Amino acid sequence: MKEKELVVCKFGGSSVQNPTQIKKITQIVKEDNTRKVVVVSAPGRDETYNQKITDHLLNCATRGKYFSEQKIDISHEQSFEKIMGKFEYLCTGLDISPKGIVDALKKDLNNCSLNDEKRIAYFLSRGEHYNAKLIALYFKASGLNVELKLPEEFGFMLSEDYLNAKVLEPSYENIKKSFDFKEDTLYVVPGFYGITQNKELAVLSRGGSDLTGGELSYALDADVYENWTDTNGVYEVDPRVIPKANVIPRLTFKELRLLSSKGFNVFHFNAMLNCKKSKIPINIKNTNNPTHEGTLILSERVPMEDLVGIAKLDNMASIHIQKDMLGEEIGFSAELLKIFGEFGINTYHYPTDKDDIAILVEQEDLKGNINNLRRQIEKRLKTDNIYVTYNLSIITLVGIGLKENSFTIVDAITALKEKNISFEMFDMSPSKISFHIGVSQAISDIALEILHEKMLVNGYK
């Protein structure tokens, strides 16, 4: 196997939120000299309100509107205090003079004359900006040969959608040119923000430091993109429901997507796209348990087991529509989905037959909409009956091995039958690597436990 030469690491908010965590990441970086690019997030949450520093910055930029709109009682002055307090705490704990960092940050926030989105983007970027500066100083003081690479200087070019910017093509060339790895340099890069053609700062969508790391890995053709967080990796089932759940050692991008979109959430999806294109493995690792191998996300793997994980999505509702011969009516489903679209409601699976179609949606999306949605469907499609079932959970079993062995489905159903768990819905995805079982939410944890026990503990591992 080819020796690995270049690893891009990204450390998320919880990995850099206090001096102890920053000392841990310093150790991690020192342990392996192939870790040559370090992308950092803003310093996690504050110690009083447990809110992210990025959210406090958003609250300052909007003069308190951001939290007050969510009925959170934190003024912009209090947010300002928490941001400053956090950076002071980090500097003191790491023996760095707070002057350079804290004073400059204060000046940036107080003197900003931008308005609207540009002001918010500028404020948001400051968390990553100053945290990277501070971490670079600490790395240097710990004997590492560090260079701070700022996105506005090396040309991480973003579109002018200031709060949800897209990465522009010239960024890749700029990165290649700027990161030359001379003299064993370790590069520290703030995640989440970049610069527009007009030389203004813009931010990616929330959680966007993942994306900065993914794009750097792609541009530099890294051997691995390590994404350091506070869990051991991707779990086969939600460990909050089943504490003995194992971490999945290897899974494909596609499997992760299927698990994530159905309730697992570990990673910013767009961050994977270019890594997937270049087949760069992503390794999810735990800063608090660095010797654990974590989860490797790959383009391809040998399907040794049928299943890798089971996800569960709660608070779903099913809208079951009846109309004689709807299956023969050309354009019926298209019009139906259009109506959901007009209400801004995302639709999930739609099992259908001659006279019936069911649409699964998130219950939350029906709030304030169900009355008018029903009215539009009845009026435009002349339906016979519409039944809405609330409080459903969709359990999704995922694994590329399912394609090879569809009998796994039989075993899943048998396991539920043995424990008298009835289900409301069943559906296999066209990719044949996942299938969905809809159960009443009241019994969904038990159903998940039964399936986990049968399929992952005793069955296919």
Q: Which residues of this protein are in contact with ligand ASP, per CB under 6 A?
A: 12-13, 41-42, 52, 54, 127, 191-192, 206-210
- CB 270 → ligand ASP: shortest distance, Å? 12
66 vs 460 by CB, closer to ligand ASP: 66
Exposure class string for 303-320: b at 16+ Cβ within 10 A, else e:
bebbbbbbbbbeebbbbe
Counts for the chain of helices (H) and strands (E), in that order:
17, 15
Question: Please, are residues 156 and 202 in contact by the beta-carbon 8 Å criterion?
Answer: no
Cβ-based nearer residue to ligand ASP, 18 or 252? 18
Spatial neighbors of 170 by CB under 8 A, at least 6 apart, are 155, 157
Q: How far is the CB of 339 from ligand ASP (least distance, A)?
A: 33
Q: Which is nearer to ligand ASP, 148 or 241 (CB)?
A: 148
Q: How far is the CB of 362 from ligand ASP (least distance, A)?
A: 22
Compute the Cα dihedral for 197, 199, 205, 211 and give only its sign: positive
Residue 283, helix vs strand vs coil: strand
By C-beta, is 58 or 321 nearer to ligand ASP? 58
State the nearest-atom distance from the C-beta of 453 to ligand ASP, in Å: 36
Residue 394 CB, nearest distance to ligand ASP (Å)?
27
**Nearest Cα to Cα of residue 402 among 305, 295, 297:** 305
> Please, what sign has the CA dihedral across residues 49, 54, 56, 59?
negative
Kindly provide the b/e burial profile for residues 190-222, where b requires at least 16 CB atoms within 10 angstroms of the residue's own CB: bbbbbbbeeebbbbbbebbbbbbbbbbbbbbeb
- Nearer Cβ to ligand ASP (57/242): 57
How many residues are there in the chain? Answer: 461
Residue 43 or 438: the one with the smaller Cβ distance to ligand ASP is 43
Q: Which two tokens stand for residue 407?
A: 């009998």
Distance CA 393, CA 441 (A): 5
Q: Which residue is nearest to ligand ASP (CB)?
A: 209
191/281 with CB nearer ligand ASP: 191
Q: CB nearer to ligand ASP: give 282 or 308.
A: 282
* Bridge partner residues of 439 (DSSP): 393
Closest of 201, 206, 204 to residue 215, by C-alpha: 204
CB of 215 to ligand ASP, least distance (A): 13
Alpha-carbon span 210 to 226, nearest angstrom: 10
**Two tokens, residue 51:** 């809110």
Instruction: Using the minimum distance from each CB to ligand ASP, give the nearer residue, 188 or 394.
Output: 188
196: phi then psi, degrees, rounded to nearest 5: -90, 175
Report the nearest approach of ligand ASP to the CB of residue 208 (Å): 5
Region class of 294: left (phi > 0), else alpha (psi between -120 and 50), else beta: left
Choice between 123 and 423, CB closer to ligand ASP:
123
Distances (CA, A) of 238 to 263, 400, 450: 9, 20, 14
Angle at 304 (CA atoms; ends 302, 306), nearest 5 degrees? 115
Nearest approach in angstroms of CB 60 to ligand ASP is: 14
Tell me how far, at minimum, the Cβ of 204 lies from ligand ASP, in Å: 8
Closest to ligand ASP by CB, 207 vs 233, is 207
| Among candidate residues 81, 85, 86, the one with its CA nearest the CA of residue 60 | 81
d(CA 407, CA 385): 35
Q: Nearest distance from residue 127's CB to ligand ASP, in Å?
A: 6
Minimum gap (Å) between residue 280 Cβ and ligand ASP: 19
What whole-number distance in Å separates Cα of residue 446 and Cα of residue 396?
14
